[in-house]
């Protein structure tokens, strides 16, 4: 292959936020880029939707004040933020017992609350012992923490039922995985990436503080618009060939050539691509051990936001119901009421095997359990099953079981020849979020520019 055969300098696989950001950075540096996207749309885990005429996000939607890359990107594209609705009380459904609470602290027995405070302090202390370089395998206690599941850790260190269920529930909510599936080191690193437990799960001052007027999905769409014809949809990549002076990417029977390649797709999808130069065993082992979480995101619309009239903010958290985390998604007090929520982890896998009617019935039944009969008659229902998305294989993010970070983790961002790795899983801050995706794209583009 001669240099003159090259159609572009860099090929980027995946037009999620990571790939689009990498492409824009490279384009601004004068490089010719081509983004190959398997889907018929850009955005990856950010995706537009609509419920009863209201535009919604079927994928990632919130932004916290610490997520400066995402805030700057949105601002530069003219996408405005608005606050998550918080006025009034939230609902806790613990073992089917419904109660309300107004602070950040749910109503738990006194001993559970005490233990929760200790737990939070301990996690924040332990996570601060992890390297800020996002190399958790280098932590002093890496081996110890990566040898156990989060569930083992909970059983050993947490004693009240309330605090145990809290710890399990937040694992399902943030990683969409069961605590027994996740390495304790993976969990701590995820806390560190999100600054603290409070910042990860909080609304005011946390990762759910704001959302984007009209939807977060506008951000990748506008980024893609800046790239114009460089973004090519319906182009799944099945094979990658590295040569001494370049790389070839095969998609739909066509071969694209470039100097370098950025893979901006989830690890589990990168593992499915054929490489003429096999990836190192350690790298391959990592890609084959980073499964995605399981989640179904569901919007339910009502004539009115009846909960607001009753002094509720629409927020729900439950340790055992199927539709286990809920937020208000209404545009205002007077118009249509919208709730958005999630079916996480094992519940998502189970409900994915049923049909929409069954899921809808379950979701409504859970909402009636939380909010009473007012919730029984929605005017619209929209669901997005991320476990069934072949080009994501789950959401929000990949996690690792014990022994993966310490045995294979140090290959996470290591280029393999001319292949560079992006995607929110490779972020050093806000892994699993749109912000982390942007950061990974910037880093991968810089790696290529530095060569």
Provide the annotated binding site: 37-38, 237, 342, 425
Residue number, 86 or 284, with CB nearest to a copy of itself = 284
Residue number, 46 or 171, with CB nearest to a copy of itself = 171
Smallest gap, in angstroms, from Cβ of residue 94 to a copy of itself?
Answer: 20
CB atoms within 10 A of CB 357: 9
Give the per-residue SS3 of 34-59.
Answer: EEECCCCCCECCCCEEEECCEEEECC
Residue number, 89 or 401, with CB nearest to a copy of itself = 401
| Closest of 399, 433, 446, 413 to residue 135, by C-alpha | 413
Q: DSSP string covering 63-101, please?
A: E-TT-HHHHHHHHHTTPPEEEPP--SEEEEEETTEEEEE
- Spatial distance between the Cα atoms of 121 and 155, rounded to a whole number of angstroms: 18
Longest CA–CA span in the chain (Å) reads 72
**Residues 79, 219: contact at Cβ < 8 Å?**
yes
Tokens in use for 394? 């789950």
Tokens in use for 393? 């294989």
Residue number, 68 or 148, with CB nearest to a copy of itself = 148
Smallest gap, in angstroms, from Cβ of residue 359 to a copy of itself?
Answer: 13
Task: Please name every residue paired with 256 in a beta bridge, in sequence order, or none if there are none.
Answer: 249
Residue number, 128 or 282, with CB nearest to a copy of itself = 282
Annotated binding site for FAD: 37-38, 237, 425
Q: DSSP string covering 227-240, please?
A: HGGGEE-S--EEEE
Tokens in use for 261? 């390649």
Give the single-character DSSP code of 291: P
Positions in the binding site for a copy of itself (CB under 8 A) = 143, 146-149, 151-152, 155, 177-182, 238, 268, 271-272, 274, 278, 280-282, 284-285, 288-289, 291, 294, 346, 348-350, 352-353, 385, 387-388, 390, 393-394, 401-404, 406-408
Residue number, 28 or 276, with CB nearest to a copy of itself = 276
């Amino acid at each position: 292959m001669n240099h003159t055969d090259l159609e572009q300098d860099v090929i980027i696989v995946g037009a999620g936020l990571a790939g689009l950001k990498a492409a824009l950075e490279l384009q601004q540096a004068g490089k010719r880029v081509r983004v190959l996207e398997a889907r018929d749309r850009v955005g990856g885990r950010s995706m537009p939707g609509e419920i009863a005429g209201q535009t919604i996000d079927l994928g990632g939607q919130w932004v916290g004040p610490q997520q400066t890359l995402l805030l700057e990107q949105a601002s530069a594209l003219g996408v405005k933020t608005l606050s998550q609705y918080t006025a009034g009380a939230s609902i806790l459904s613990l073992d089917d017992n419904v109660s309300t609470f107004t602070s950040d602290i749910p109503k738990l027995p006194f001993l559970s609350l005490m233990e929760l405070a200790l737990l939070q302090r301990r996690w924040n202390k332990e996570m601060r012992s992890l390297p800020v370089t996002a190399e958790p395998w280098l932590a002093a206690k890496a081996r110890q923490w990566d040898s156990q599941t989060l569930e083992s850790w909970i059983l050993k260190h947490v004693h009240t039922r309330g605090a145990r269920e809290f710890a399990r529930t937040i694992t399902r909510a943030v990683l969409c995985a069961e605590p027994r599936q996740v390495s304790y080191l993976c969990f701590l690193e995820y806390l560190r990436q999100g600054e603290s437990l409070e910042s990860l799960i909080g609304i005011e001052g946390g990762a759910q503080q704001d959302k984007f007027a009209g939807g977060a999905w506008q951000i990748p769409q506008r980024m893609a618009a800046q790239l114009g014809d460089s973004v090519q949809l319906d182009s799944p990549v099945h094979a990658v060939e590295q040569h001494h002076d370049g790389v070839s990417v095969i998609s739909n029977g066509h071969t694209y050539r470039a100097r370098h390649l950025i893979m901006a797709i989830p690890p589990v999808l990168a593992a499915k691509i054929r490489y003429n130069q096999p990836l190192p065993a350690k790298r391959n082992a990592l890609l084959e051990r980073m499964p995605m979480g399981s989640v179904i995101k569901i919007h339910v619309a009502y004539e009115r936001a009846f909960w607001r009239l009753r002094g509720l903010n629409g927020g729900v958290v439950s340790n055992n119901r199927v539709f286990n985390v809920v937020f208000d998604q209404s545009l205002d007090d007077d118009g249509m009421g919208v709730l958005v929520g999630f079916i996480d982890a094992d519940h998502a896998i189970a409900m994915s095997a049923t049909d929409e009617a069954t899921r809808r019935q379950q979701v409504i039944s859970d909402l009636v359990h939380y909010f009473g009969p007012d919730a029984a008659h929605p005017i619209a229902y929209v669901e997005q099953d991320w476990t069934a998305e072949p080009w994501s294989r789950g959401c929000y993010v990949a996690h690792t079981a014990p022994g993966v970070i310490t045995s294979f983790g140090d290959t996470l961002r290591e280029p393999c020849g001319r292949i560079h790795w992006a995607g929110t899983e490779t972020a050093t801050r806000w892994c699993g979020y749109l912000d982390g995706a942007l950061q990974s794209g910037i880093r991968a583009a810089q790696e290529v520019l530095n060569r």
